[in-house]
Amino acid sequence: EWKGVLCVDAVKLTIDGREVEVPAGTTILEAAEQIGIDIPRLCFDPELSLQGSCRLCVVEVEGAPLLSASCVTPVGRGMVVHTESPLVVETRRTILELLLANHPLDCLTCEKNGDCRLAEYCYRYGVKDSSFAGERHHYPIDDSNPFVLRDMNKCIQCGKCVRACAEIIGKDNIDYINRGFDRKVATYGDKPYVDSVCTFCGNCVAVCPTGALTEKPMQGKGRRWELDRVRTTCPFCGVGCNFD
Ligand code: FES
């Protein structure tokens, strides 16, 4: 197939017993999506660069020595892929348990309740809590921003907020700091949001898969699906940007 200056070959592979043909360079996750197979993902977002860090999207490729992260693995001719084999399911359960090992289990009162990808996948794979006991973070909740509530105890370090800030609006207000257990996403200088250069664009909130970054209702309480979205104008800098 001729596409601009590149000649793109088609690649045929089999996913969960179904044959699919996609252009070379397509990832396994995208190829699966084309035939309606939903592979779980936490760090992947089609609008952002690839990070491949959460590993929840792992799949079994026949002949490969290890499981492959499907969001960063390109398809290969004749590949045979299993997206829900016993080994894949067991691995995903372990990954979810590892995430829950340092994640509050306050889902009943969490602002993200009903709209949380982590909870959705725990439900899908029957993970109720973690069998891994260890130290937990107890970060203060950052309530300083008028629009965003920031609870880093719920951050799973998928890095989507960091990439959204850099790649969608070209800023670097947030990034990873520290190493090992103390690694976290923080503003420059680890300041509260309100003292940082954040312009409250909301892109980080929109991509966050857990309750780490949530929108603050202007009055009272209200979860995402209980609120009406209206067109409005940001009151902060006077440029007059409109938002939905
Ligand atoms: Fe593939 Fe996170 S979605 S590694």
What CATH number did the domain enclosing 60 receive?
A: 3.10.20.740
User: Per the domain annotation, does 68 fall within a domain?
Assistant: yes
Closest ligand 1 atom number to CA of residue 53: 4
Closest ligand 1 atom number to CA of residue 39: 3
User: Per the domain annotation, does 107 fall within a domain?
Assistant: no
**Shared domain check, 146 and 89:** no
Q: Is the CB of 54 under 6 A from ligand 1?
A: yes
Q: What is the CATH number of the domain that holds 147?
A: 3.30.70.20
Q: What is the pLDDT along the chain (244 residues), one digit of tens a residue?
A: 434 444 468 999 999 999 999 999 999 999 999 999 999 999 999 999 999 999 999 999 999 999 999 999 999 999 999 999 999 999 999 999 999 999 999 999 898 999 999 999 999 999 999 999 889 999 999 998 888 899 999 999 999 999 999 999 898 889 999 999 999 999 988 988 888 888 888 899 999 999 999 988 766 677 767 767 777 776 666 667 776 6
**Helix-then-strand count for the chain, H and E:** 5, 13
Q: Is the CB of 52 under 6 A from ligand 1?
A: yes
**Shared domain check, 73 and 144:** no
**Shared domain check, 144 and 200:** yes
**Shared domain check, 88 and 146:** no
User: Per the domain annotation, does 81 fall within a domain?
Assistant: yes
Domain closes at, from 93, 121, 148:
93
User: Per the domain annotation, does 131 fall within a domain?
Assistant: no
pLDDT at 1: 43
User: Per the domain annotation, does 129 fall within a domain?
Assistant: no
- pTM for the model: 0.87
d(C-alpha 99, C-alpha 86), whole Å: 20
How many structural domains are present in the chain?
2
Closest ligand 1 atom number to CA of residue 29: 1
User: Per the domain annotation, does 115 fall within a domain?
Assistant: no
- Secondary structure (H, E, C), 67-117: CEECCCCECCCCCEEECCCHHHHHHHHHHHHHHHCCCCCCHHHCCCCCCCH
Domain closes at, from 63, 93, 123:
93
Report the residue among 51, 91, 96 best suited for mutation to probe ligand 1: largest number of ligand atoms under 8 A from its CB.
Answer: 51
**Shared domain check, 7 and 87:** yes
The rounded Å distance from CA 209 to ligand 1 centre is 12
The rounded Å distance from CA 208 to ligand 1 centre is 14
pLDDT at 4: 43
Q: Is the CB of 32 under 6 A from ligand 1?
A: no
d(C-alpha 173, C-alpha 141), whole Å: 18
Bridge pairing between strands 80-82 and 10-15: parallel
d(C-alpha 152, C-alpha 138), whole Å: 9
**Shared domain check, 158 and 82:** no
pLDDT at 8: 63
The rounded Å distance from CA 51 to ligand 1 centre is 7
Containing structural domain, residue 172: 138-218
d(C-alpha 13, C-alpha 71), whole Å: 16
Q: Is the CB of 191 under 6 A from ligand 1?
A: no
**Shared domain check, 160 and 85:** no
**Shared domain check, 83 and 14:** yes
